[in-house]
Amino acid sequence: MFAAKVKKTQTKLRYGVKGKQIKFFDAQGVDELVSICMTLAQELWVVKERLATVEAAAAKKGVILGDEVEGYAFTPEQRAVMEEEKAKFIDRVFFTLREQSEALEIDAKDEPDPPKLP
C-alpha cells in the first residue's frame, strides 16, 4: 500500500514548550534540579530495562554473562557509537537548561495567562 518512495527533508520538531516557564520552588535552580533528577531516573530505568533484555536473551541461548562483560573492549566503531549516544544522553538529562534558552527564541508574547493564583 505504501510503495511510494519518500523524500527525506531533515525536518526538526520542537521538544521544548514555548511561553512562560512554570516554577514551584522558591530557591533558585531547584525546579531545574528536579527535572534533571527525573531524567536521570528515566535513563537509569532505560539501562535496567535493556540489561534485563540482554540477560534474558543471553540466558535463552544458554549464555550466562559474567566475566565477559567485565573484560569486554569496544571496537573503535562501537566506541564512536557510544560517544554519540553519550552526547545525546547528556542532552536529554540536562534538557531543562536548553529548553529555557530555546523558549526565549520563540515568540509567545500573546500566550493566554492561567487564572490568577489564589
Partner 1 sequence: MTENVDHDLKVSYTRDETARQHFVSGMRSYILNHLAGNLRTVYAKKVEPAFKNKNKRAPKTAPEIHKALKDETVFKFYSALRCNTQEMVWRSVIPGVEREVDELAMRAKVLNQSDEKAKGTVRTDPKLQIPRNVSELDVHLMPGGYHEERVAGDVSQGAIYDNGLSVFAMGLLGPRMDDITQSVSTFFAKRYPDFKPRRILDLGCSIGHSSLPWKERYPEAEVFGIDVGAPLVRYAHARAQSYGVTAHFEQKDAENTGFADESFDVIYSCMFLHEVPKRGIRNIFKEARRLLKPGGVMLHYELPPNKMLTAYDGFYLDWDSFYNKEPYYKPFRDMDPEEECKVAGFKTSKFFQYVVPSMSFYGEKAVTEAVSHTKTEGDSNVGRFADGVRWYTFGAWKQ
> Look-up: residue for cell 534558552?
101
Least distance in angstroms from the C-beta of 71 to partner 1: 25
97 interacts with partner 1 by CB under 8 A? no
**Spatial distance between the Cα atoms of 114 and 91, rounded to a whole number of angstroms:** 30
55 interacts with partner 1 by CB under 8 A? no
111 interacts with partner 1 by CB under 8 A? yes
Interacting residue with partner 1 among 15, 79, 97, 100 (CB under 8 A): 15
Task: Identify which of 97, 100, 82, 91 has the alpha carbon closest to the alpha carbon of residue 43.
Answer: 91
Choices 20-28, 60-68, 76-84 (CB under 8 A): range interacting with partner 1: 20-28
**Spatial distance between the Cα atoms of 59 and 66, rounded to a whole number of angstroms:** 12
State how far the alpha carbon of 111 is from the alpha carbons of 14, 18, 107, in Å.
17, 9, 9
60 interacts with partner 1 by CB under 8 A? no
Rounded (to 5) percent helix, strand, coil in the chain: 55, 0, 45
Interacting residue with partner 1 among 28, 29, 46, 91 (CB under 8 A): 46
Residues found near partner 1 in the complex (CB under 8 A): 1-2, 4, 6-9, 11-19, 22, 24-25, 31, 34-35, 38-39, 41-43, 45-46, 49-50, 53, 92, 95, 108, 110-115, 117-118
